[in-house]
Amino acid sequence: MINLIPNQERKEMAKSFYYKLVILFFIICSFSFFAITIAILPSYFLSSVKNNILDEKLQAQKSESVPLPDQNVILTIKNLNKEIDIVENAENSKFVVSEKVINAIILKKMLKIKITDISYDEGSQSSPAQDKKIIIKGIAPSREVLLLFRQALQSDVTFKQVDLPISNFVKGSNIGFSLSLIPA
């Protein structure tokens, strides 16, 4: 097919096409902007009205005076504070064998050692902070393994002191042992 349109006119037609395309793009953008604006306006007005109502309520609450509490309320508050102090002091003075202590013992345990008992001795009432200790009972296959277990527990910062009585070393194998640990 032969092209009968001259080059100059073809260029002007292409230019005119691009102008029409740009104008159409701007018309679609402006229509979209107008439609979005129309869609958003109700929610904007609703939120601004709610905001104004909340501001008015806040100002009304700020202007109200706070009633003074009567003697019964003050007395009740003081009694509750005393009871809370009693509970807090009881919790602070109470030592609990925590999961941290038990995990420290289990992590340091050698594979050949069998732990049969973990107990907690609170000590005497006169000096409870000094007498708290954890007692571990079990069976070790040899003296060397038992000594390594004791050294592993001594190297842990969770315990201040690890006591292993010399009587645990009487037997040479299958040693029934008893370790005393003082928590840090």
CATH value at residue 126? 3.30.1360.100
The pLDDT of residue 28 is above 60: yes
Question: Which residue's structure tokens are 């296959």?
Answer: 141
Pair 115, 173 in one domain: yes
Helix (H, G, I), strand (E, B) or coil at 146: helix
The pLDDT of residue 95 is above 80: no
**Chain mean pLDDT for the chain:** 86
**159, part of any domain:** yes
Q: In total, how many domains does the chain have?
A: 2
**77, part of any domain:** no
The pLDDT of residue 147 is above 60: yes
pLDDT per residue as tens digits for the range 45-92: 999 999 999 999 999 988 888 777 788 888 899 999 999 988 887 766
Q: What is the pLDDT, as a whole number, of residue 96?
A: 56
Q: Which two tokens stand for residue 173?
A: 């194998």
Pair 54, 125 in one domain: no
Burial class of residue 136, CB neighbours in 10 A (0-12, 13-18, 19+): buried
Pair 115, 172 in one domain: yes
Q: Enter the pTM of the model.
A: 0.45
> How confident is residue 111, by pLDDT bands cut at 50, 70 and 90?
confident
**116, part of any domain:** yes
pLDDT per residue as tens digits for the range 34-44: 999 999 999 99
Q: Which two tokens stand for residue 37?
A: 């604006």
**57, part of any domain:** yes
Spatial contact of 136 and 179, defined as CB atoms under 8 Å apart: yes
**74, part of any domain:** no
**111, part of any domain:** yes
The pLDDT of residue 126 is above 60: no
The pLDDT of residue 3 is above 80: no
Q: How many C-beta atoms surround the C-beta of residue 155 within 10 A?
A: 10
Pair 54, 103 in one domain: no
Q: Which range of residues forms the domain containing residue 18?
A: 10-61
**117, part of any domain:** yes
Pair 104, 179 in one domain: yes
Strand partners, 89: none
Pair 108, 161 in one domain: yes
Q: For residues 31 and 36, give the distance between their C-alpha atoms in angstroms, rounded to a whole number.
A: 9
Q: For residues 118 and 123, give the distance between their C-alpha atoms in angstroms, rounded to a whole number.
A: 16
**14, part of any domain:** yes
